């Protein structure tokens, strides 16, 4: 007679917990309990505020990593929404955790990238360029060519040039050089564009 596996009480753990229960578990005074709760947490639109609050208040790096890993594991729009809250954080731990999570959520992040690349804050646009790097080459070009043509911040354009240089074709070289020419007082940007042009030329040279 085959054995029938009985489900233990609350076997699904935090997955089936109410937002109140989940909040209590993630804010336990015991760091191991918080870590265990984070490892079982599945983010939804209904409980996103719970994990966001936990991330904001977490002081233990290992638990914080588990919380950001929960965003990656859940892999949905709610996870992206939570991670984006910390992209502007002054706390480097939160900002780095958010970037790592967003890099792992490229499919879910894609619809948000255009907005991030036009954010009023240059630092956010720079981080957005880095996030674009993980997209397909055609998507990288589609997203960053308009920025190279129009962005008014040299540091943002420098970040975009660095990413585009990895995937651009020869017909994009003129755009990179023109972008640098819009900032005549920035010798670094001129150097970056010319270096990128050389990389693109070498990569596309006849074999």
Mean pLDDT over residues 59-88, rounded? 97
- Tell me the C-alpha distance between 134 and 131, whole Å: 6
Top pLDDT among 29 and 23 is at: 29
**35 and 82, same structural domain?**
yes
pLDDT at 11 over 80: no
CA dihedral sign of residues 136, 138, 143, 144 = positive
**41 and 124, same structural domain?**
no
pLDDT at 23 over 90: no
pTM here? 0.84
**201 and 132, same structural domain?**
yes
**95 and 144, same structural domain?**
no
Per-residue pLDDT, 27: 86
Question: Of the candidates 78, 108, 138, which is a domain's last residue?
Answer: 108
Question: Of the candidates 108, 136, 171, which is a domain's last residue?
Answer: 108
**95 and 139, same structural domain?**
no
Question: Of the candidates 50, 73, 108, which is a domain's last residue?
Answer: 108
**134 and 98, same structural domain?**
no
Q: In 10 A of CB 33, how many CB atoms?
A: 15
**78 and 151, same structural domain?**
no
By three-state DSSP, how is residue 95 classified? Answer: helix
> Is residue 6 assigned to a domain?
no
**190 and 148, same structural domain?**
yes
Q: Encoding tokens for residue 28?
A: 């336990």
Q: Domain of 169? A: 119-207
> Is residue 7 assigned to a domain?
no
pLDDT at 6 over 90: no
35-52 pLDDT, tens digit each:
999 999 999 999 999 999
- Please report, for residues 68, 84, 93, 113, 181, the alpha-carbon distance to residue 121 in angstroms, rounded to integers and kept in the order given: 24, 14, 20, 14, 23
- Tell me the C-alpha distance between 205 and 207, whole Å: 6
For the chain, percent of residues with pLDDT exceeding 70: 89
Per-residue pLDDT, 19: 53
- Tell me the C-alpha distance between 35 and 169, whole Å: 46
140-198 pLDDT, tens digit each:
999 999 999 999 999 999 999 999 999 999 999 999 999 999 999 999 999 999 999 99
CATH number, domain containing residue 90: 1.25.10.10
Top pLDDT among 92 and 20 is at: 92
Per-residue pLDDT, 17: 46
- Tell me the C-alpha distance between 125 and 156, whole Å: 6
Tally of domains in the chain? 2
Q: Which of 84, 95, 74, 90 is nearest to 22 (CA)?
A: 74
**93 and 175, same structural domain?**
no
**133 and 206, same structural domain?**
yes
């Amino acid at each position: 007679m085959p054995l029938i596996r009985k489900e233990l009480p609350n076997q699904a753990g935090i997955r089936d917990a109410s937002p109140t229960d989940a909040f209590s578990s993630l804010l336990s005074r015991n760091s191991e309990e918080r870590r265990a709760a984070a490892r079982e947490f599945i983010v939804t639109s209904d409980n996103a505020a719970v994990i966001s609050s936990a991330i904001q208040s977490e002081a233990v790096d290992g638990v914080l990593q588990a919380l950001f890993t929960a965003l990656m594991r859940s892999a949905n729009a709610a996870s992206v929404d939570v991670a984006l809250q910390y992209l502007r954080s002054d706390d480097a731990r939160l900002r780095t955790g958010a970037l790592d999570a967003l890099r792992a959520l490229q499919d879910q992040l894609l619809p948000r990238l255009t907005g991030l690349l036009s954010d009023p804050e240059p630092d956010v646009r720079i981080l957005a360029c880095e996030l674009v790097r993980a997209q397909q080459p055609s998507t990288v070009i589609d997203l960053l060519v308009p920025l190279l043509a129009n962005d008014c911040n040299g540091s943002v354009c420098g970040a975009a040039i660095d990413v585009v240089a990895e995937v651009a074709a020869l017909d994009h070289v003129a755009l990179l050089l023109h972008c640098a020419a819009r900032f005549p007082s920035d010798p670094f940007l001129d150097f970056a564009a010319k270096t990128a042009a050389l990389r693109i030329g070498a990569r596309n040279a006849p074999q």
